[in-house]
């Protein structure tokens, strides 16, 4: 496949990305951040493509967020100068890789335990480098994170005492209304102990455009907004016209009037179901009323309602996935197009970098 190819001519299943929409989405998030004075630090787990990270930086992002260190290595290799890794880095090998990265990139990390901080400090200080450390705060999700503002203050003080780490601030995911009072209490306790909370990083696309209502947060880490997906369309974060991501798929079987089978299953679309509770594995752009009611690994099952024409064998449709991040992760290539004409094919370079 080369630039100039029409996306209709590409074999399916294939992941295509509308660059015009990507640019609109990047501009929209940056505009919001600029309006309210937030730093914008996009999460690259959605696209996993260095070129798109550079588009986000050119628009005004202060740096990027990576979930895994392997993703950070791909981005650093591609010249991204400022990277926050929000996943706890555990074990000597990862600490050494972090130390290596920190020699050429401004690296920051987040974690929630003295154990992780101490182990990182041991390696980083011995190697004569230091990185910023954010205390991971559980302000409601119930995943990682210290459980109270008091614990946040304790960890901040501990980190401040460690060589190789600089206590820099707080991090939470997602940013919800309850995050504001929690983070304020933590900041006040930490400041009362004489430390500066330079930076409070909040995350998640769904609530990103309401961050100014939360208070305390100084930085937005959002990922999905860059492409959009069915969840974004349903929660209003990205309009269907600005949804950049599609999985093009062919009808390969029409065994009954009521059922059509796609060549895209969970290995092309991922298995997520909509947050809204809507029972479909994706939105077929050309047939929004046709439900993808089940997925096998390579098959998508489409319910064809009485009176609905089309969806015949050989027809190609465009599916908007339920969740962009997990769907993108299934693909090796990002076919970037403008108005249906291919302008670039980028490897999903950080895909599979789970270590």
Q: How far is the CB of 212 from a second copy (least distance, A)?
A: 26
Question: Of 9 and 196, which has the nearer Cβ to a second copy?
Answer: 9
**Shortest Cβ 347–a second copy spacing (Å):** 11
Listed in sequence order, the DSSP H helices in the chain are: 19-36, 50-59, 69-77, 92-102, 114-126, 149-160, 179-192, 230-235, 266-269, 324-328
Q: How far is the CB of 111 from a second copy (least distance, A)?
A: 8
Minimum Å distance from CB 308 to a second copy?
Answer: 19
Reduced to 3 states (helix: H, G, I; strand: E, B; else coil), residue 266 is helix
Q: Is the CB of 33 or the CB of 268 nearer to a second copy?
A: 268
Would you say 62 and 83 are in contact if contact means Cβ atoms under 8 Å apart?
no
Residue 33 or 330: the one with the smaller Cβ distance to a second copy is 330
Name the minimum Å distance from CB 156 to a second copy.
16
Give the span between the Cα atoms of 77 and 72, in whole angstroms: 8
Number of alpha helices (DSSP H) and beta strands (DSSP E) in the chain:
10, 17
- Distance CA(241)–CA(224), nearest Å, equals 15
Smallest distance from a second copy to CB 335, Å: 12
| C-beta of 302 vs 320, nearer to a second copy | 302
For a second copy, the closer CB: 33 or 165? 165
- Residue 33 or 337: the one with the smaller Cβ distance to a second copy is 337
DSSP secondary structure string, 29-52? HHHHHHHHT-EE--BTTTT--HHH
Q: Rounded to the nearest 10 degrees, how much is the dihedral formed by the CA atoms of 143, 147, 153, 159?
A: -40
If the CB atoms of residues 26 and 325 are measured against a second copy, the closer one turns out to be 325
Under 8 Å between Cβ of 174 and 65: no
Distance CA(64)–CA(45), nearest Å, equals 10
State the minimum distance, in angstroms, from the CB of residue 107 to a second copy: 18
CB 119 within 8 Å of CB 95: yes
The residues of the shown chain that bind a second copy, judged by CB under 8 A, are: 11-14, 45, 67-68, 87-88, 90-91, 93-94, 111-113, 115-116, 119, 136, 138, 142-147, 250-256, 259, 261, 263-264, 266-268, 270-272, 296-299, 301, 313-314, 325-326, 329-332, 352, 354-355
Which of 55/89 has CB closer to a second copy?
Answer: 89
The Cα–Cα gap between 40 and 201 comes to 10
Distance of CA 191 to the CA centre of its chain: 31
Residue pair 247/282 in contact by the 8 Å Cβ criterion: yes
Q: How far is the CB of 223 from a second copy (least distance, A)?
A: 10
């Amino acid at each position: 496949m080369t630039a100039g190819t029409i996306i209709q001519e590409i074999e399916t299943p294939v992941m295509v990305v509308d660059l015009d929409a990507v640019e609109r989405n990047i501009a929209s998030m940056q505009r919001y951040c600029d309006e309210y004075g937030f730093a914008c630090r996009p999460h690259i787990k959605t696209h996993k493509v260095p070129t798109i990270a550079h588009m986000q930086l050119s628009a005004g992002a202060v740096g990027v967020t990576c979930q895994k260190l392997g993703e950070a290595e791909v981005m650093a290799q591609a010249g991204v100068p400022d990277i926050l890794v929000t996943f706890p880095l555990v074990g000597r090998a990862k600490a050494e890789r972090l130390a290596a990265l920190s020699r050429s990139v401004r690296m920051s990390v987040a974690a929630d335990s003295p154990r992780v901080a101490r182990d990182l400090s041991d390696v980083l200080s011995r190697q004569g480098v230091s990185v910023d450390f954010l205390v991971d705060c559980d302000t409601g999700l119930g995943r990682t994170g210290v459980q109270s503002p008091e614990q946040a203050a304790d960890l901040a003080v501990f980190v401040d005492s460690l060589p190789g780490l600089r206590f820099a601030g707080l991090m939470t995911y997602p940013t919800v209304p309850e995050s504001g009072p929690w983070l304020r209490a933590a900041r006040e306790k930490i400041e009362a102990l004489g430390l500066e909370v330079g930076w409070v990083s909040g995350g998640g696309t769904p609530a990103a455009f309401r961050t100014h209502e939360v208070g305390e947060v100084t930085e937005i880490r959002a990922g999905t907004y860059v492409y959009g997906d069915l969840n974004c369309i349903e929660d209003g974060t990205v309009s269907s016209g600005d949804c950049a991501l599609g999985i093009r798929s062919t009808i390969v079987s029409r065994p009954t009037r009521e059922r059509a089978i796609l060549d895209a299953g969970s290995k092309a679309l991922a298995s997520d179901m909509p947050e809204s509770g809507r029972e479909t594995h994706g939105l077929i752009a050309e047939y929004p009323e046709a439900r993808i009611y089940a997925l096998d690994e390579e098959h998508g099952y489409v319910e064809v309602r009485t009176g609905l024409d089309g969806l015949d064998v050989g027809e190609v449709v465009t599916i908007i996935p339920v969740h962009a991040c997990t769907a993108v992760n299934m693909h090796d290539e990002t076919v970037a197009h403008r108005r249906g004409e291919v302008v670039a094919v980028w490897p999903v370079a950080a895909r599979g970098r789970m270590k």
